[in-house]
Amino acid sequence: MQQRHFKTKDIYPNPVKIESLSHDGRGVTHIDGKAIFVEGALPNERVKISALKQTRQYDDAIVDEILEASSERVEPKCAAFGICGGCSLQHLQHENQILYKQQSLLDNFKKMAGVDPVTILEPIKSPAWRYRYKARLGVKYVKAKKKVYIGFREKHSRYLANMSECEVLDARIGKKLEVIADAVGQLTCYNKIAQIEVAFSETGCALVFRNLIELTDDDKSILTQLAKDNDYHVYLQPKGPKTVTLLYPEFSELSYSLPDYELKLVHLATDFTQVNPFINPLMIKLALSLLELNKNDNVLELFSGIGNVTLPIARSVNSVVAVEGEKSLVERANDNAQRNSISNVQYHVANLMEDTQGLPWLRDKQYNKILIDPPRSGAKEMIDTIAKLTPERIVYVSCNPATLARDTDVLVNTYQYKLAKAGVIDMFPHTAHVESIALFTR
Ligand SMILES: C[S@@+](CC[C@H](N)C(=O)[O-])C[C@H]1O[C@@H](n2cnc3c(N)ncnc32)[C@H](O)[C@@H]1O
C-alpha cells in the first residue's frame, strides 16, 4: 500500500468531532467518509488535528489542540504518556476504560459472529496503578548522552521512551528504572545488554539480564550489589531461554499462592504467568464458577501454562486433562501438581496450532467441560475439534476480542452453541489490551 507522510497542518483546516474510540485507544472521526484515527483524542471531543500518515483507506493523525474536552478526560499520571508505547489510555478515566473495552468486545461479537451474549458479566476490576508483575524492558546506550536508558519502546519507533519511572509496573522496579540503568551503565559491557526481563512473585523480584557477551567478574559484582541493595534476584541469560542462570542470591524460587484452593505455584522468571496478580485469582474464580464444576466432571483444558487454572479446577472435579505447547511449562505444571499433592491431572505437550487428530488426549476421550485460554491468535485450529467433543460448557478466556469473536462465530453459527455469558476483565489498565471471558453452552 502506498503511504505518504505529511507534516503540513493545513491538511485538516477545520476542527473535527471525535465519534468513537478505536480498538487501540485512538479517537475515530470521518472526513468525507474516510476514517481518521486520532492519537490523544477521546470520543465527543472537538479537536484540531494534523496528519501523521495518509493512505487511500484511512489517515493516522494526532491532536494539536483540544477545543472541547471530554468529561472523561483526566491528566495522565506518567510523564512519558503519549511517547511511551506501553500505555495509550491514561488520559481516559480508569473506570471508563473498561466500559470502552466492554463495548469493543460486544462490537466484535456483533460484527464477526452476529451475536450478543445473553448475559453481559460485570467487569472484573483491578487497581489502576502498580499492577504489572511481568515486563520486558528495553536497554539502550545513547552515545550522544553517554548514558544507558531502560524502559519501554516509544510508540511507532524502535527507540526507548525516556522515562525515570513507570507507574503501572510494581514499585520494586517501576520506581527504580534509573537505579538499574545506572548499574548497567557501570558495566564494561554497558552497550551489550539487549533487554531485561522482569518477573515479580510473592517470594522475590527477578531480573533476567540478556547479556550478549560474557560478563567480567567486576560486572558480576556490580549486578550482585544491585541485587543486594534492592532485594532482587538477578539472573543472566547469555543465549536462549535454556541458558538462564542465577547470579544472586544463591537460591531463588519464585512462587505465588492461590489461597482459595490451598495452592502454591512455582514458576521461573521467564515462564508465562498472568501479568496482573490482583486480577488473576478473580479471573480463576469466575472461570471456575462459569464451568459449574462438580465431582463428576472430566475437564479438558487447552493452553494450560504452568497449571494456573488447571490446579484450581482439579480441586473440584473427577479429572483434568491439560494441554500446553511449551514443554518446559508442562514440566513446571507437573511439578506444581506434585507439590500440591494433586493426582487427578494429566498433562500433555502439543502444538495446538497444528493438526491434533489422533493425539492420545483426544482418542476415545470424553470431556463434559472445556476451558481454553489461548494466546492472541486465538484457537482457530482447535475450535472445530472442541465443538465436536460436544462439551456441555466451554469457557474461553481471551486476550484478543477479535480472535475470540472469530472463534465464537464457529461455535455459535456452525455448531449451535449459545453465547450464554461474556464480559471483560481489567487485566491491563491504561493499555488498549482487552482481556475477556465467554461461556458457551449447548
Ligand atoms: C494466555 S496463556 C494462558 C496460560 C494459563 N492458562 C495461565 O493462566 O497461566 C497462553 C498459553 O498458551 C501457550 N501456547 C502458545 N502457543 C501455543 C501452541 N501453539 N500450542 C499450545 N500452547 C500454546 C503458551 O505457552 C501459554 O502458556
For 76-130, the pLDDT digits (tens) are: 999 999 899 999 999 999 999 999 999 999 999 999 999 999 999 999 999 999 9
Q: Answer whether residue 2 shows pLDDT above 70.
A: no
Long-range interactions of 201-204: CB distance < 8 A, separation 24+ = 201/133, 201/254, 201/255, 201/256, 201/267, 201/273, 202/255, 202/256, 202/257, 203/253, 203/254, 203/255, 203/256, 204/231, 204/232, 204/233, 204/252, 204/253, 204/254
**Residue minimizing CA distance to atom 4 of ligand 1:** 305
pLDDT tens per residue across span 390-423:
999 999 999 999 999 999 999 999 999 999 999 9
Is any ligand 1 atom within 6 A of the Cβ of residue 276? no
Is any ligand 1 atom within 6 A of the Cβ of residue 103? no
- The Cα 331–Cα 57 span in angstroms is 48
Q: Answer whether residue 5 shows pLDDT above 60.
A: no
Q: Do 52 and 190 fall into the same domain?
A: no
Q: Answer whether residue 19 shows pLDDT above 50.
A: yes
90 domain-assigned: no
Is any ligand 1 atom within 6 A of the Cβ of residue 352? yes
How many angstroms is it from 169 CA to the middle of ligand 1?
A: 23
Is any ligand 1 atom within 6 A of the Cβ of residue 324? yes
How many angstroms is it from 398 CA to the middle of ligand 1?
A: 11
Give the model's pLDDT for residue 1. 29
Give the model's pLDDT for residue 348. 97
Give the model's pLDDT for residue 3. 35
Please count the structural domains in the chain. 3
- The Cα 197–Cα 208 span in angstroms is 5
Q: What percent of the chain has pLDDT over 90?
A: 93
How many angstroms is it from 395 CA to the middle of ligand 1?
A: 15
Range(s) of the domain holding residue 332: 98-127+275-441
Q: Do 145 and 120 fall into the same domain?
A: no
> If pLDDT is split at 50, 70 and 90, which confidence band does 10 have?
low
pLDDT tens per residue across span 277-293:
999 999 999 999 999 99
Q: How far apart are the first and last CA of the chain?
A: 44
421 domain-assigned: yes
Provide mean pLDDT across the span 1-22: 71
Q: Do 281 and 168 fall into the same domain?
A: no
> If pLDDT is split at 50, 70 and 90, which confidence band does 9 have?
low
How many angstroms is it from 391 CA to the middle of ligand 1?
A: 21
Is any ligand 1 atom within 6 A of the Cβ of residue 373? yes
How many angstroms is it from 292 CA to the middle of ligand 1?
A: 23
92 domain-assigned: no
Is any ligand 1 atom within 6 A of the Cβ of residue 219? no
CATH code of the domain in which 41 resides:
2.40.50.140
The set of catalytic residues is 399
2 domain-assigned: no
**Number of C-alpha atoms within 13 angstroms, CB side, residue 174?**
16
pLDDT tens per residue across span 198-233:
999 999 999 999 999 999 999 999 999 999 999 999
Is any ligand 1 atom within 6 A of the Cβ of residue 308? yes
365-399 b/e (C-beta count within 10 Å ≥ 16 → b): eebbbbbbbbeeebbeebbebbbeeebebbbbbbb
Nearest CA among 36, 39, 43 for reference residue 87: 39
Q: Do 287 and 419 fall into the same domain?
A: yes
How many angstroms is it from 380 CA to the middle of ligand 1?
A: 14
Q: Answer whether residue 8 shows pLDDT above 70.
A: no
Q: Do 321 and 434 fall into the same domain?
A: yes
Is any ligand 1 atom within 6 A of the Cβ of residue 301? no
**Residue minimizing CA distance to atom 3 of ligand 1:** 373
Q: Answer whether residue 6 shows pLDDT above 50.
A: no
pLDDT tens per residue across span 352-389:
999 999 999 999 889 999 999 999 999 999 999 999 99
Q: Which of 326, 349, 351, 370, when mutated, tests ligand 1's pocket best, judged by the most ligand atoms within 8 Å of its CB?
A: 326
267 domain-assigned: no
The per-residue pLDDT of the chain, averaged, comes to 95
351 domain-assigned: yes
